[in-house]
A = this chain, B = another copy of it.
Amino acid sequence: MIDIKYINELKSIFGDDWVSEGTSIRELHSHDESFHSHTMPDVVVWPHTTEQVSKVVKWANERDMPITPWGVGTSLEGNPIPVHKGISMDFQEMNKILAIHREDFQVDVQPGVVYKEMNKILGHHGLFFPPDPGAAATIGGMIANNASGIRTVKYGATKDYIMKLTVVLPDGRIIYVGNRARKSSSGYNLCSLFTGSEGTLGIITEATLRLVGLPSNFMAVRAVFPTVLDATNTVFSIMSSGLVPSAMEFLDDKVIEILNRDRGISLHEMPTLLMEFNGFSATGLKEEMGYVEEICLENRSVFLDKGIGAAERARLWEMRHLTLESIKRSHAGLLPLIMDVAVPLSRYSEIVAFVKEEVKGLVAYIFGHAGDGNVHVVVMGKPDDIERWVLIEKANRNIVLKAIEFEGTCTGEHGVGIGKRRFLPIEHGEGLVLMKNIKTLLDPNNIMNPEKFFV
């Protein structure tokens, strides 16, 4: 339990209403959407300003009190679980869009903004923020995890959209990194150092994001294949043709089966690709569609559902979004482990085949951002079925090792958190020593989201 003196000191920083020791509140901040063990923080605080964050970080650093930043808890590797207890810092109250710079394609936001809500507002200005992880993530969480998602194949990950950050360092100092010019070669790239650092190096309290103009036209394609290999070969053919899809998603037959059952639709229960293309010119898109169709047929596609326009696009994504929810709903009482490796495109067919073999006999659903070489496998298990979890963890390990052997990565987009720590020495070798040195340089007392990244 935390000392009452400490609680009072925290209340003097944040105000009485923004410090809570309530059990239900602490429970809410004890887990994310993963299967990782829950740990309750001692106390939850809700900052409203950068200055408050700075004050409390300085205070905590002097007392060796751990701080773990909290967005909304949609992460999948235990990233915001306060393993060493201490303070969970919830950014729900810092959720303002501070300024939209329409003419510069930029927006200034606080970290608690939910990207989907931000994109609704930006849409009125003809703009959008492309990274799209699906869940109702906050911008702060997305920056911390370098989130990506279905549009990354064309637009890149969160790291590619960070122009400027306000960061509170682990000793309480406030720094501003980056600038608002579209390019810069001025000093070390600190924006990139903090992006993806999962709150282990400091706390982001404000961000300037680069935006993209809303595309004027869309083309959507659902292509069905007799085998997984035909589908993954098509991914490869499309990606190396010079065509630039704005989404390229793979779903295996089992995922379609669940979607049909859970959502009352009737798609072909076979390996499927969902593709989106967008652009300035509808005529241009029609021309591209001819090529896409040709490539799919060359790869033995047995069914093509395609169309031009925003409505066609909405129809396509309706079935993809909430896939994870459909899977979970179909297996009430089970918990998911979600694998997240990424490999070079040329190895995509191989890794998917390897995955299929590894998860044989498990309750497993394979899908992924195929255009990025990213494969997800949702494997469900009863929480107390230890034997089953040993098998699931073994499959996960084998798949990660294979991805690294293919010169890929243990995590395409979910981050390291707790779940991927043990693979970092294998993936990074001596590079991990440098990461650890940087961590110690910035956070010598190890107060910032401890027990993440490093075992």
A365 CB, nearest partner CB in chain B, Å:
21
A190 partner, pick from B157, B242, B431, beta carbons under 8 A: B431
Q: How far is the CA of A369 from the CA of B181 in the complex (A)?
A: 12
Q: Does A407 interact with chain B (Cβ within 8 Å)? A: yes
Whether A280 pairs with B243 at a CB distance below 8 angstroms is yes
Q: Does A146 interact with chain B (Cβ within 8 Å)? A: yes
Whether B287 pairs with A184 at a CB distance below 8 angstroms is no
Whether B435 pairs with A187 at a CB distance below 8 angstroms is yes
Q: Which residue of chain B has the shortest Cβ distance to A412 in the bound complex?
A: B183
Q: Does A284 interact with chain B (Cβ within 8 Å)? A: yes
Q: Does A226 interact with chain B (Cβ within 8 Å)? A: no
A285 neighbours in B (Cβ, 8 Å): 284
A187 partner, pick from B188, B281, B424, beta carbons under 8 A: B424
Q: Does A182 interact with chain B (Cβ within 8 Å)? A: yes
Given A103-B240, A284-B283: A344 touches B186 (CB 8 Å cut-off): no
Q: How far is the CA of A447 from the CA of B174 in the complex (A)?
A: 30
Chain A 308-329, CB-CB to B under 8 Å as 1, else 0, gives 0000000000000000000000
Interface-forming stretch among A25-33, A41-49, A257-265, A414-422? Answer: A414-422
Whether B185 pairs with A240 at a CB distance below 8 angstroms is no
Q: Does A216 interact with chain B (Cβ within 8 Å)? A: yes
A173 partner, pick from B106, B179, B279, B430, beta carbons under 8 A: B430
Interface-forming stretch among A6-14, A192-200, A355-363, A378-386? Answer: A192-200
Q: How far is the CA of A173 from the CA of B411 in the complex (A)?
A: 26
Q: Does A148 interact with chain B (Cβ within 8 Å)? A: yes
A288 partner, pick from B188, B280, B429, beta carbons under 8 A: B280
A420 neighbours in B (Cβ, 8 Å): 186
Q: Indicate the member of A187, A403, A431 with the most B CB atoms within 10 Å.
A: A187
Given A182-B372, A431-B177: A453 touches B243 (CB 8 Å cut-off): no
Q: How far is the CA of A176 from the CA of B409 in the complex (A)?
A: 13
Q: How far is the CA of A374 from the CA of B157 in the complex (A)?
A: 24
From residue 427 to 455 of chain A, which have CB atoms closer than 8 A to chain B?
427-432, 434-435, 437-438, 441-442, 453
Whether B189 pairs with A193 at a CB distance below 8 angstroms is yes
Whether B287 pairs with A185 at a CB distance below 8 angstroms is no
Q: Indicate the member of A105, A180, A371 with the most B CB atoms within 10 Å.
A: A180
Whether B438 pairs with A183 at a CB distance below 8 angstroms is no
Whether A176 pairs with B288 at a CB distance below 8 angstroms is no
A442 neighbours in B (Cβ, 8 Å): 434
Q: How far is the CA of A345 from the CA of B406 in the complex (A)?
A: 41
A373 partner, pick from B169, B181, B343, beta carbons under 8 A: B181
A182 partner, pick from B188, B281, B342, beta carbons under 8 A: B342
Whether A185 pairs with B284 at a CB distance below 8 angstroms is no
Q: Does A90 interact with chain B (Cβ within 8 Å)? A: no
A441 neighbours in B (Cβ, 8 Å): 437-438, 441
A408 CB, nearest partner CB in chain B, Å:
4
Whether A188 pairs with B197 at a CB distance below 8 angstroms is yes
A281 partner, pick from B195, B281, B427, beta carbons under 8 A: B281
Whether B434 pairs with A185 at a CB distance below 8 angstroms is no
A116 CB, nearest partner CB in chain B, Å:
20
Q: Which residue of chain B has the shortest Cβ distance to A277 in the bound complex?
A: B280
Whether A196 pairs with B185 at a CB distance below 8 angstroms is yes
In the A-B complex, list the 8 residue pairs whose CB atoms are closest, starting with the nearest: A284-B284, A192-B192, A281-B284, A181-B342, A184-B409, A180-B407, A213-B242, A181-B408
A-B contact pairs, 20 of them (CB 8 A): A101-B346, A105-B345, A148-B185, A169-B434, A175-B429, A175-B434, A179-B427, A181-B373, A181-B403, A185-B412, A185-B416, A186-B416, A187-B432, A189-B195, A189-B196, A190-B435, A280-B284, A280-B288, A281-B281, A281-B284
